[in-house]
Each structure stands twice: as C-alpha cells, then as structure tokens.
Amino acid sequence: MDYKRENLGYKREDKKNLLVKKGEKSYNTSHVSRIVPAMNQAKDLIARLEKLRANHEKKALKTQLEVARDPRHKIEENSVVKSNRLARAYYRFDIVEKRIMEAMISKLDSLLANKEQMQDIRLEASEYANAFGVKLHKAYEEMAGAVHRLMRTVITIRESDDVKREYTLMAEAVYHKGEGHITATFNPKIVKHLVNLREHFLSYKLKQTVSFKSSYTWRLFEIMMSWKKSDRPVAGWFT
C-alpha cells in the first residue's frame, strides 16, 4: 500500500514537472514573440532617424550654399560658438589661419545632436574678402596657402593638471583652384567642442573680431570671454 502511494506520488510529481516545463516553454515562446516585433520596430526607427539625418545634412549644405551666394548675407553676422576648453587650448595660428578657422566655425550647424557628426563646410573667397576687408585676389592667395597649415596644426586641450589631449583641427581641407573656395571638415573630436553645447562655452559675433590684426589679440579676446562668467582666476594656456 505504501509502495503504491509512493509510486503515485512520483507520478504526480512527474506530471507537475511536465506542466512546469510546458509553462516555461510557453512563457519563452511568448517572450520571444514579443521581443521580435520590438526589435523590428527599433530597426525601423533607426532607419527613419538615419533618413532624417541624411535629409538634414542635405538641407544644411543647401542652406550653406544659398546663404553664401546671397549678396545680402554677411558672414561676419554669424556667431562663433566653442567650449571654454577649446578657447583656452594651445595652438599656433597666424591671423589668416585664425580668420579662416573662426569663419568656418561660424558656419557649422550648431543644432546637430550628434557631436561627432561630420560636416563639410564651404568658405567662399568673396565671403572672406568682404568680412575681413582684403582684396579678392589676396583672399584667394591667403586661403590657398592656409589649407596646408590648417591640416597640420595640432591643438592641445588641457582637461586637468594631469591630462592634456592633442587633436588635429581638420579631418580634411581642400582648396578648389579656379573656383575660389575652401571645403573643409572638422575633426569629429573637435566638433564636440563646437556644437550642441549646453554649458561652459562662449559665443560672440564674428564681426567683433574682424578688425583684429594679430592672432594673439584674438586669442586673448577668447580667453577673456571664456572666463567672463567665472570667479576662478585665469589659468589657461596662451601663446
């Protein structure tokens, strides 16, 4: 009798385990059936966002060209925005290179959400000449000569007393001979110091600096701007 009860108990336990396993299988199947559509929706969302990003890039480039060709627009009315760390960074530019660098920064699309997104920036010789008061043929010469140096300049940003990082300014720079313009792409590691900034940055109109005859004057102006709202003593690099 005890043997039969014990045997019956085993059968009940086996049946219970079988039901549990079936339940687990049913749960797993149900779980997978919910995950797959969610993954497909995520892929679809990513594809849509990528399409929106591509369209935004096309519109931004089109706007750049339209603005550049609009005789009513003056590049000196653009704003230069950069992080305080970049403003205090160490690098050597002459006044021509500094003018081109800041003019191109002023043409960046600052609303891009991705701080490391590549943007091709186009600077016309006529824009440069009108903004900084130089002859058009002189603007051609200065821009052509500056491309080489812009690509090879290293910018050193001090993040703390113990950490400093070195970057090249540009990922690519091209002077289009006979067309009178430069097309350049900023290094993505530098772009994060230029767009979508929420704090610790400075901003000024390019027209505030067009009369500067020395890159040192311009650098000093930016360093002072970077400490404008800070109570800390100036300790940035300057050369």
Q: Greater confidence, 38 or 200?
A: 200
Q: In the beta sheet, which residues pair with residue 186?
A: 170
Domain final position from 72, 92, 125:
72
Whether 2 maps to a domain, the answer reads: no
Residues 94 and 137 in one domain: yes
C-alpha neighbours within 13 Å on the C-beta side of residue 31: 6
Residue 47 falls inside a structural domain: yes
**Residues 123 and 38 grouped into a single domain:** no
Q: Based on the domain organization, do 92 and 186 belong to the same domain?
A: yes
Instruction: Please compute the mean of the pLDDT values over residues 70-99 and round it to a whole number.
Output: 88
Q: Which range among 42-46, 56-60, 131-135, 188-192 shows the weakest confidence by mean pLDDT?
A: 56-60
Q: Specify the pLDDT at position 88.
A: 92
Q: Which of 5-19, 24-38, 111-125, 206-220 has the lowest mean pLDDT?
A: 5-19
| Spatial CB neighbours of 185, under 8 Å, sequence gap ≥ 6 | 118, 119, 120, 121, 170, 171, 172, 173
Question: Do 46 and 88 share a structural domain?
Answer: no
- For 141, the enclosing helix (H) or strand (E) is helix 136-152
Give the residue with greater pLDDT, 196 vs 45: 196
Check residue 175 and give its pLDDT: 86
pLDDT band for position 63 (cuts 50, 70, 90): low
Alpha carbons 190 and 167: distance in angstroms, whole number: 7
Q: Which domain holds residue 154?
A: 74-227
Q: What is the mean pLDDT of residues 158-164?
A: 85
In total, how many domains does the chain have? 2
Per-residue pLDDT, averaged over 205-215, amounts to 95
Question: 126 and 40: one domain?
Answer: no
In this structure, the answer to whether residues 95 and 154 fall within a common structural domain is yes
> 3-state SS string over 23-87?
HHHHHHHHHHHHHHHHHHHHHHHHHHHHHHHHHHHHHHHHHHHHHHHCCCCCHHHCEEEEEHHHH
How confident is the model at residue 70, as a pLDDT?
55
- Per-residue pLDDT of 130-157, as tens digits, reads 999 999 999 998 998 888 888 888 999 9
The pLDDT value recorded for residue 132 is: 95
Classify residue 195 by its DSSP letter: S
Q: Are residues 41 and 157 in the same domain?
A: no
Based on the domain organization, do 181 and 223 belong to the same domain?
A: yes
Is 78 part of a structural domain of the chain? yes
Q: Do both 58 and 106 map to the same domain?
A: no
Of the candidates 44, 72, 100, which is a domain's last residue?
Answer: 72
**Most confident stretch, 94-98, 119-123, 186-190:** 94-98
Please tell me whether residues 63 and 98 are part of one structural domain: no
